[in-house]
Structure 1
Amino acid sequence: MKQLFILLSAFLLASCQEFLTRDPENEIGSEEFMRTENDLVLYTNGFLQRHMPDEETLAWGDQYSDNIATRTSTQFLIGDNWGPDEQGGWGGGASGKWSELRNVNYFLDNLPKARSNVSDATYRHYEGVGRFWRAYFYYSMVRTFGDVPWYDSEIDIADADQLYKPRDSREFVMDKILEDLNFAAENCSAEDRYVRSSTLINKWVVLAFKSRVCLFEGTYRNYHEELGLKASAPKFLREAVSAAEELMTTGPYRLVNNPANVATQYRSLFTSENLNTTEVILGLSFRTDVRMHSITWKLFSASFGNNWSLTQPFVNQYLMLDGSRFTDLPGYEQKTYREVFENRDRRLEQTVISPSYTRRISGAVRRDAPNFALTSTGYQPIKWALDDDVHVGLATANNSIPMFRYAEVLLNYAEAKAELGEMDVPEWDRSIRLLRERAGVNGAPPAAYDPYLAAYYQHQTTDKWILEVRRERGVELVFENVRYDDIMRWRMGELLEKTWQGIYIPQKGEVYDLNGDGAPDLSVVDAEPPANQRIPGVAYVVLGSVYRLSEGDRGNLEFGFSQGRRWLDKKYLRPIPTSARQVNPALGQNPGWER
């Protein structure tokens, strides 16, 4: 065992040195490469391929948040069994996380080779691109681990002080991230050749990302008082406002908004083959027979997907078309599936299957109801799905995937203003009103805070502006890989352990036609009936260890109570992996994860 430990330590030591010191494995004649603009294009295109999240991360990144029920949960949220031995996301080596930083720093260190061969503007643009990706890497690491060691150049293999130094403070690293983003925002180009496809890093991408990063850090410091950084929260919130406002004022983007298309325009952003460059600032491009994915297959597969479903408490937050609150309606708690969709924010029916939803099944277009082999709550998502079952069982979906949208920039602006106490009608009108009216909702500002939302967020605030921005953020950005981070920065981790509630069932044992097409769809029962007594087309949801009704024989369908999800405050940060600490004990450990 001792020999095994020595061998393992030697391997990890070599990896630690390698990930920060070795030249990139795909170098192209390192002495001569990176001397022309074409070399810079080739190298930075590699950043796009390696560093950007893939389509499934963007579509399912929020699957373990508060508003999405899943068939299975992540082990990180189950009980208190997760620890440093299970944690990844740190390792060295050519495929390890830190190799991303090494590639960026190699690029920045070698960029001067091209200075005499490219224009000053081109040089500064590519330095900005490199610094953008360094900020992108470190933002991910800070969100995950908090304090991390900062490196802004390649490390000499003999420099033990740097290789094995302690972690730098969150405060220091976030200031360095801000420096990189400010440089990139000032120097990355806004020329059409970098902007028109919405697939390359440019000035507007940097500003959109900066608004996200600074909102995250400002609110994280504000709500996580244990850090002792609350006094510096406004600095980041003002930087978020500044970045968003510059993009809103001088950028080329706007919301896709044609009143004639109110029933389809929101969802079209996520189901179109071409990225809608009117609103999408950066995204992943897909093409039929060239580059395709399996998102539709996973949404409509009982085995391949994870039964992603919206919860009733979240669906309750969608407004009525006249701008009033659904939760102010008498008896809203007992509204049936069909009633829930009546006169609601048009984004609801473009996010989950509604009573009017149709898709092509076996070549014919027909109405489709929630399938309880695919959903656990009855609110089955379609936001990323193509409405044709030809894609089920095949990775043939061709819809392109937005990563940064102008809508998020408006939300970042509004939330930062609200958190600063500077939100009022003018700020509302240039941000939240636009989003609501695009969805067919009266965009008038709130007269008072919403007690339902205040209770949902555990009475953390009764500020009407903050609560309404949170409502809008949830509705607009659902399934877009931001919700989990929102919950973390708001210090609302307890929401992740709640039992998920689904559609209201007036009476168990009855058979329900969910979408009103004349065909029965669902019955909630104590035991599944014998085969000869089953009604064709009906899904029988059996109460017991997996499902229950909130009121015994009626009520909201409840799911997930047997998964053992448990929130502990130490989970706001992940543990430093054991393997990393074996190599460098100076890294220390995050609070609560010491063993």
Structure 2
Amino acid sequence: MKKHLLYSALVLCLGVTLTGCDDFLNDNRYPLDKQTSSPEFWSNSVNVEGEANHFYNNVVGYGSGTNGTFYYHTLSDDQAGAISSTFANWAYTTTPSESDDWDDPYIEIRRANLLLEGVASGSLNNTTAGNNFMAIARLDRGMQYLTLVKKFGDVPLVEKPLDVNDQSVLFGPRTNRNEVIDFALADLNFAIENLTTESSKTTFSRDYARAMKIELCLFEGTYAKYVLKDSERSKKYLNEVVNVATVLMPKYSIGDDYAALYNSMSEELNANSEVIMMKAYKQDVMMHSLLDWTCSSSTVCGITRNAFDSFLFLDGQTADKTSYDNTDKGEPIENGLSIANILSVRDKRLSAIVWDRVIYPNMSIKFENTMPISSHTGYGVKKFYTDEIPYDYTPFANKNYTAAPIYWGARVALALVEAKAELGTLQNSDLTNTLDKLYSRAGLPTKTVDELAAMNAADNNMG
């Protein structure tokens, strides 16, 4: 479709005699570089589709030469970020005067509001096509507001394109976070009802909107329970998770290959029955840098020892209860220390996440298709690696083209189980197509609800 638009613009440019081609493109290219209120523009489905396509840029995946939504989330307890070989500052000591975390979502909210107002002003209003475009805009707007609330709490709720002369909106008060979340939920519900595509791994669809709704409702349901102490609000949102996840689960069955979710080519991931939405990449067309960040000579941010130790042993037990020998600290090998034996008795996902030898700081080890690698924690990141991509496209910036999963069956399964557990309604029958399949994929014995409740590690301080 974008190719079609490009060709159309070229033909029109060649046909313009009274106006220069640059003027034509500046006035008509998308996304619009200036606000338009022309009903004629918004009545043309090709124009509106061009504007709506911009929202695909907000499906970040592995990024496009920049940091994506994987790996670089270093401010977590599972991965050790480093600045000048020290841990990153985990607490802000001063509030910044400005932040992209604030500005960028509002730029996209404005873009959505412009499209919504524009479509409402033209002949596409209240048509199937028009409602589909509005659903795409509201889908994105809803998730932008969720992102803002997660980071800032109360935020200004902007429901229309801002007028620079409207000081009450530009400098108005923040809106209560509950109202903002309710507004975002209404946006997602509209998208679920009005998107014309039921399911698609590469385009906006109702199932993609349902997966977004699960993410929003699980966040709000647990936040309301533990922070707001609002049991009614918590139950409302957690029940929404259960209702939507129950619809999605049968469609996206959990597969057997954990690693394939993260290191597959676009064609392979598109064929993966577990994937709900993905971001496709193509060699020499659109690429990313994720493999470069984990396979090049720059020291990588490895997972922490706590994260490593949190993976169960193959008997389904934690380190303090396992029947396996937990004293094996590795086997010396040439140029390093092998941890293959340790990985062989752990949850199978762990061997897909880290390399099978300790990669000491300041000690570079080279694997197939990589540059010499070193890690801040000793654990090298293997999770996104594949030898399907040749060396010339692996440890180099913006040369990688594995596909990125956005939503997939395991996320839905875990959300369903968590919501039911928080509601106190989790039954063993709920585990059959959810946790049982995830345990099986990890090579672990399945658990009953009572066994799950009793397996807490004594030393994790989580209660």
TM superposition score normalised by structure 2: 0.78
Residue 141 of structure 2: SS of its match in structure 1?
Answer: helix
Mapping of residues 98-247 of structure 1, within 5 Å: 98-116=106-124, 120-191=127-198, 195-196=199-200, 198-224=201-227, 227=228, 229-247=230-248
1:418 is the counterpart of 2:431: no
Distance 1:444 1:316 in 2: 20
Q: In 2, are the aligned partners of 1:24 and 1:103 still within 8 Å (CA)? A: no
Task: Specify which of 261, 270, 273 is matched with residue 276 of structure 1.
Answer: 270
For residues 421 and 169 of structure 1, do their structure 2 counterparts lie closer, same or farther at Cα, with a shift above 3 Å needed? same
CA distance in 1, matches of 2:165, 2:81: 48
8 Å Cα contact 2:197/2:204 also seen in 1: no
> What amino acid maps onto 1:270 in structure 2?
Y
- Matched with 1:316 is 309
Deviation at 1:128, TM superposition (A): 1.6
Distance 1:300 1:24 in 2: 39
Question: Which moved further from structure 2: 119-128 or 138-147?
Answer: 119-128
| AA of the residue aligned to 1:177 | A
Q: Deviations over 1:52-103 (max 9, x none)?
A: 465232222432200112233786515x633243755224xxxx54221111
For 1:407, the equivalent position in structure 2 comes to 410
| Corresponding residue of 2:43 | 35
Which residue pairs with 1:329 in the alignment?
322
Quote the offset at 1:219 in angstroms.
Answer: 1.1
Helix, strand or coil at the partner of 1:281: strand
Would the aligned equivalents of 1:107 and 1:130 in 2 still touch at CA under 8 Å? yes
Residue 293 to residue 82, structure 1, CA distance change in 2 (3 Å) = same
The correspondence of residues 238-257 of structure 1 with structure 2, limited to 5 A, is 238-249=239-250, 252-257=251-256
Q: CA deviation at 1:159?
A: 3.1
Distance 1:29 1:174 in 2: 29
1:49 and 2:57 matched: yes
Q: After superposition, what is the alpha-carbon deviation per residue over 1:350-373, rounded to whole angstroms, capped at 9, x for unaligned?
A: 11112699xxx99x969x9x97x5
How many percent of aligned residue pairs carry the same amino acid? 27
Q: Distance in 2 between matches of 1:124 and 1:297?
A: 41
Structure 2: unaligned runs, 5 residues or longer = 1-30, 331-338, 360-364
CA apart distance, 1:180: 1.2
The Cα offsets for residues 573-595 of structure 1, whole Å up to 9 and x where unpaired, read as: xxxxxxxxxxxxxxxxxxxxxxx
Pairing partner for 2:82 from 71, 93, 98: 71
> Secondary structure of 1:381's match?
coil
Partner of residue 499, structure 1: none
Greater RCO (Cα-Cα under 8 Å, separation 6 or more) = 1
Question: What is the SS of the residue equivalent to 2:282?
Answer: coil
Cα deviation, 1:269-302, whole Å, max 9, x if unaligned, reads 2111113342222222111111122221210223
1:411-490 aligned within 5 A = 411-445=414-448, 447=451, 449=453, 453=457, 455-456=459-460, 458-459=461-462, 461=463
Q: Distance in 2 between matches of 1:365 and 1:175?
A: 50
Residue 576 of structure 1 aligns with which residue?
none
How many residues are aligned here? 407
2: distance between equivalents of 1:297 and 1:53? Answer: 15
Q: Please give the alpha-carbon distance, in whole angstroms, between the structure 1 residues aligned to 2:278 and 2:439.
A: 23
CA distance 1:287–1:82, shift in 2 (3 Å): same
In structure 2, the residue matched to 1:379 is: 379
Residue 60 of structure 1 pairs with residue 59 of structure 2:
no
In the TM superposition, what whole-angstrom CA distance separates every residue of 1:495-549 from its partner, at most 9, and x where no partner exists?
xxxxxxxxxxxxxxxxxxxxxxxxxxxxxxxxxxxxxxxxxxxxxxxxxxxxxxx
What RMSD over aligned residues (CA atoms) do the two structures have, in Å?
3.1
